Amino acid sequence: MQDRLSASPRRPVTMAEVNQAWLDRVNRARQSAAERIGVDVSEMLPPRDGSTGEAAEAAPSTEAAAPQPEPAAVAAAAAPEPAPQPEPAAAAQAAPVAAAEVAPAEASPAADAAATVEAQTPTAVQSNGSAAAAAADRVAPVGRAAVLESFEPGQEGINRREFLSYAWGGALTLLTLESGLATYQFMYPRFREGEFGGKFLLGAATVLPQIGIDPEGNSTGKFWLINTDDGPRALYMVCTHLGCLYKWEPSNNRFECPCHGSKFNREGHYIEGPAPRSLDQFLVEIVEDGSIVATTEDAGDFISAPALPSPDAEVVVDTGKRLQGKPKALSPAKAVPS
């Protein structure tokens, strides 16, 4: 028998027969695996037409509902993605079983190629699923970045640079206001009543010294108060020469400066000496029934005193308003050289 078998010629195996035998073994292994896991073997077969849309639409979704994509991610998600093959878990479980059933068969190049293709099919499905998940992960940061870009700087507070800018601006504004206020107060000082630079309420006209009587000095207001036929006058106590304080000399019935000898009559007109002009005078107001009825006026060549309308009129001296004395050439009391 051995000799007869060895003598008979051996028919060569064709590639088609090898492929058919391999496919039969694969189908048997797939059928066995389907029976073990309790699924239909048709669900484990890949689509023959190459399309994946119908199978994907028919298969129920096993994944949890994904959150609604952000507006910036809608455009990226709109691109078509390869749909996963039906039941990737079942196919993954069937592959090891099929490999175990076919393992005893004789190895051949065609069989190895077919096994490689079949074994890579679940991996491709899983890879497609992983690619979709990775794409979703890449899209999500883009959406968050778009939302963050909608916020403008400075909405939730100010930074250090803005704070310093505001602080410097406020400090400069405050300094400018204080400087302006100090300048205004220096140019237009405000004095309280009864102090030099303010008003002095002397009372009714009856308090004035009699006409022809020596003048009365007021050291607080720095003026000499005299009463003349024209009305009361308030003469500034400072000499018009170099600022010395002149005095009233009753024996001579005139004002004399002890510094350089300038002399002025009872009404403050220049008589003689180095003084360039007559004595300066403060503004005198005559108030009656709450209204000012007369004031000291500068008439050009001379200074006129306010007239008293009645003995009950009040006299007010405003030391904040000074009238400059007239030049000595216009003085009616100027001494005539002998």
Position 219 in a domain: yes
Position 20 in a domain: yes
User: What torsion do the CA atoms of 273, 334, 331, 322 make, to the nearest 10 degrees?
Assistant: 40
Residue 321 is encoded by which pair of tokens? 């308003």
Position 76 in a domain: yes
Buried b (16+ CB within 10 A) or exposed e, 136-150: beebbeebeeeeeee
Position 21 in a domain: yes
Residue 185 is encoded by which pair of tokens? 């107060």
Q: Are residues 10 and 140 in the same domain?
A: yes
Q: How many CB atoms lie within 10 A of CB 161?
A: 8
Domain extent at residue 91 = 2-48+71-146
Give me the tens of pLDDT residue by residue for the chain, a chain 338 residues long: 455 555 556 677 788 889 999 889 988 988 888 888 888 877 767 666 655 544 444 444 444 444 454 544 444 444 445 554 545 444 445 444 444 444 444 444 444 544 554 545 444 434 444 544 454 455 444 445 444 455 455 456 789 899 999 999 999 999 999 988 888 877 776 656 656 778 888 888 888 888 888 888 888 889 999 988 888 899 999 999 988 999 999 888 899 999 998 999 988 899 999 999 999 999 999 998 888 888 998 888 888 888 888 888 889 998 888 898 889 888 887 765 54
CATH number of residue 245's parent domain? 2.102.10
Q: Are residues 18 and 135 in the same domain?
A: yes
Q: Are residues 214 and 132 in the same domain?
A: no
Structural domain ending residue among the three candidates 146, 181, 213: 146
Q: Are residues 135 and 17 in the same domain?
A: yes
Position 175 in a domain: no
Position 159 in a domain: no
Question: How many domains does one find in the chain?
Answer: 2
For residues 248 and 255, give the distance between their C-alpha atoms in angstroms, rounded to a whole number.
Answer: 4
Q: Are residues 29 and 140 in the same domain?
A: yes
Q: What is the pLDDT of residue 174?
A: 92
Q: Are residues 7 and 142 in the same domain?
A: yes
Helix (H) or strand (E) holding 325: none
Position 186 in a domain: no
Q: Are residues 319 and 226 in the same domain?
A: yes
Q: Are residues 113 and 20 in the same domain?
A: yes
Enumerate the β-bridge partners of residue 245.
238
Q: Are residues 212 and 324 in the same domain?
A: yes
Position 118 in a domain: yes
Sign of the CA dihedral running 123, 125, 128, 133: negative
Residue 154 is encoded by which pair of tokens? 């400075």
Q: Which residue has the tokens 């691109």?
A: 79
Query: Which residues, in sequence order, are CB contacts of 92 under 8 Å at separation 6+?
Result: 122, 126
Q: What share of the chain is helix, strand, coil (3-state, %, to 5)?
A: 40, 20, 40
